[in-house]
Amino acid sequence: DQQVKQNSPSLSVQEGRISILNCDYTNSMFDYFLWYKKYPAEGPTFLISISSIKDKNEDGRFTVFLNKSAKHLSLHIVPSQPGDSAVYFCAAFFQGAQKLVFGQGTRLTINP
Amino acid sequence: DVKVTQSSRYLVKRTGEKVFLECVQDMDHENMFWYRQDPGLGLRLIYFSYDVKMKEKGDIPEGYSVSREKKERFSLILESASTNQTSMYLCASSTGTGVYEQYFGPGTRLTVT
């Protein structure tokens, strides 16, 4: 039972353009949503989060949007840079379970 | 900066061997976690711990056990390694108040032959 899904295994974007990574979830009880970034041979690093009571959170080039009615969130990266090439994981958390649930990940490649 | 370290970056073991993966964090975090990462499956939680000597099963605990004798150290044990446990193993930690934001170690790539 995959509660958090990232349906695109990979995404290729030109440098300077917008990257949009998508994530769907099934459990309406989630309290927070997070995005993690992972380079090869390194552990994931926290990127940005959003509370379930908000619909947008912005941090520099990164913006996360939450659409609760559609149970969908997205990460926008503008402008995309070569250093953004990595695997991005969407994750969700709810207090009841006290743990993170991760999606499958999307490999983002930024082309020069 | 939070630092989470794992004892080995790469490990090769034979089927049936007992395997110990060690994780140490230096930020006095209460919570520690073990995940495995496999292509197409994302990160799956094996076990986690909220306190010393305390453990909770995650989503895929079968074939694994854990030990937390000290606050900073969380060990993952494969009692009898099998080939389907070949994977990337990731340790993470978080504070008691911020369970949702976890800090990860670099991972251990385990190959069981």
* pLDDT tens profile B63-113: 999 999 999 999 999 999 999 999 999 999 988 665 578 899 999 999 999
Does the pLDDT value for residue B1 go beyond 80? no
Q: Do A46 and B45 touch (CB under 8 A)?
A: no
Picking from B40, B48, B105, the nearest residue to A104 by CB comes out as B40
Chain B residue with CA closest to A49: the answer is: B101
| DSSP reduced 3-state for B84 | helix
Whole-angstrom distance, CA of residue A89 vs CA of residue B90: 14
**Does the beta carbon of B25 lie under 8 angstroms from any beta carbon of chain A?**
no
* pLDDT tens profile B3-29: 999 999 999 999 999 999 999 999 899
Looking at residue B96, the DSSP 8-state letter turns out to be: S
Whole-angstrom distance, CA of residue B38 vs CA of residue A104: 9
Q: Where are the beta strands (DSSP E) in B7-107?
A: 10-13, 19-25, 31-38, 42-49, 56-57, 64-70, 73-78, 87-94, 103-104
Does the pLDDT value for residue B40 go beyond 90? no
Q: Do B100 and A89 touch (CB under 8 A)?
A: no
Q: Do A46 and B50 touch (CB under 8 A)?
A: no
Whole-angstrom distance, CA of residue B81 vs CA of residue A101: 25
pLDDT of residue B99: 56
Picking from B4, B40, B42, the nearest residue to A89 by CB comes out as B42
* pLDDT tens profile A45-97: 999 999 999 999 999 999 999 999 999 999 999 999 999 999 999 999 877 66
Chain A residue with CA closest to B88: the answer is: A41
Helix%, strand%, coil% for chain B, nearest 5: 5, 55, 45
- Most B CBs within 10 Å: which of A21, A37, A102, as the mutation test of the B interface? A102
Whole-angstrom distance, CA of residue B16 vs CA of residue A26: 38
pLDDT of residue A41: 83
Picking from A46, A91, A99, the nearest residue to B48 by CB comes out as A99
**What count of CB pairs under 8 Å joins A to B?**
53
Question: In chain B, which residues have their Cβ closer than 8 Å to the Cβ of A5?
Answer: none
Does the pLDDT value for residue B53 go beyond 90? no
Does the pLDDT value for residue A19 go beyond 90? yes
User: What percent of chain A stands above pLDDT 70?
Assistant: 97
Q: How confident is the model at residue A1 (pLDDT cuts 50, 70, 90)?
A: low
Whole-angstrom distance, CA of residue B109 vs CA of residue A60: 33
